[in-house]
Structure 1
């Protein structure tokens, strides 16, 4: 004792050196230091493993649908303790998650099919107006009426389909291209925040008028070009609609 650095006491005879087999001779000081190091490493390793298990259990418990009861089995290992009611509740939640997964997969497959097969698709802000019938008064100026709603518009085959969202499995509305009698651009508008919106309209033989807008001129031009080609309408013969 007293042979080591200041503050460290060494007990040379405390640990017995094994005499079995051929070993490299070690001084009492080095044997004690190595054994202490191995003991400390083993102790730290067990402590780290125990803390890791507790942290993992805590995270799992936190992320579980409900707070689970934890206990120890005969070997001291942690385990989840569930009653019959909790098991049924978890089974019901798993069934709900599987149903939701099935629905999300159906949505993904649908939008994938739409994007692969449609001629054109994208979000536009839209509103509808009806043409004035003979004898009816002229419509009021609705320039300041903000009834524009975002719609996911799909040009597919002989129809224009309108969806609330791109993930919807069925459209909200549809219009046959053969019913379109007129379409064309509308004046662009600079809003209060400086954003410029571009407009175009689609008029059907039944007097229903779809007014569409977007912040991209390229997007609006693409829609006009695609619709004119599909509807076989001359772009120069389309009349300019009223100011939105």
Structure 2
């Protein structure tokens, strides 16, 4: 003390760290802190593993590196698996893009398109008994129908790239309305049919009368058909 400038007292070794051991309470605190840190690291590791499973990255392992930092450790097999998964995702993306382009082309160029309920029946050949009345048979299936160019195309769903079936307009010999159907839930469907020269009869229905009228009008024009049939508006139980 007294080595400093006049008026200032200097205490030698005042800030030197104590050479004695840490108090028991301080040592216990440090131990608890480290234990808590490791526990928190394990919790974060489990959380990261859960997120990994969420994104379907199977087989990827997480480990703790220096300073309790998590890192992904990949083997050659795991890298190959990830590359394969990325390739599959790219392939699916290309497929979805093709579907979107296809449906966009249909909507832009088709004369008429939309979902209808469809069922098929065959006309009786000469000498065969008349078909059994199956009006109560519920075998209607939703199909995406497209009137485009010289054909009618039937798709399972709108995004299918290839039709399930098709019929040339030149093979259509008759179109006309059918009696309405009343479903068990009291829903009314408006119906019409398309008959081909091969004897195949497409029966179509929709809950929208406007949609059915549009199809009948378009088919009669494109198939160059005339019909004297009147609308059959009496609902029939189905």
Question: Is TM (by shorter chain) over 0.5?
Answer: yes
**1:41-87, Cα deviation, whole Å (9 max, x unpaired):** xxxxxx9xx99xx4984564242312632224446532211112111
Which of 193, 217, 222 is the aligned partner of 1:230?
222
Task: Tell me the secondary structure at the aligned position of residue 236 of structure 1.
Answer: coil
Contact 2:177 2:229 in 1 (8 A): no
Which of 123, 131, 144 is the aligned partner of 1:131?
123
In angstroms, what is the RMSD of aligned CA positions?
A: 2.6
Contact 1:183 1:238 in 2 (8 A): no
Offset of residue 143 of structure 1: 1.3
Corresponding position of 1:108:
100
Provide structure 2 residue ranges, at least 5 long, that are not aligned to the other structure.
1-36
Corresponding position of 1:184:
176
In 1, Cα distance between the equivalents of 2:51 and 2:105? 38
Matched, 1:199 2:191: yes
In 2, Cα distance between the equivalents of 1:175 and 1:192? 32
Corresponding position of 1:168:
160
Corresponding position of 2:109:
117
Offset of residue 129 of structure 1: 1.0
Task: Give the 3 Å change call, closer, same or farther, for CA 238–176 of structure 1 in structure 2.
Answer: farther
Contact 2:59 2:78 in 1 (8 A): no
Task: Tell me the secondary structure at the aligned position of residue 218 of structure 1.
Answer: helix
Task: Give the 3 Å change call, closer, same or farther, for CA 209–238 of structure 1 in structure 2.
Answer: farther
Give the structure-2-normalised TM-score. 0.73
Give the structure-1-normalised TM-score. 0.71
**1:221-243, Cα deviation, whole Å (9 max, x unpaired):** 11111111111212326897xx7
Q: How many residues align?
A: 193
**1:182-231, Cα deviation, whole Å (9 max, x unpaired):** 10000102112110011000011111111001111111111111111111
Which of 51, 71, 80 is the aligned partner of 2:63?
71
Corresponding position of 2:32:
none
Task: Tell me the secondary structure at the aligned position of residue 167 of structure 1.
Answer: coil
In 2, Cα distance between the equivalents of 1:126 and 1:237? 21
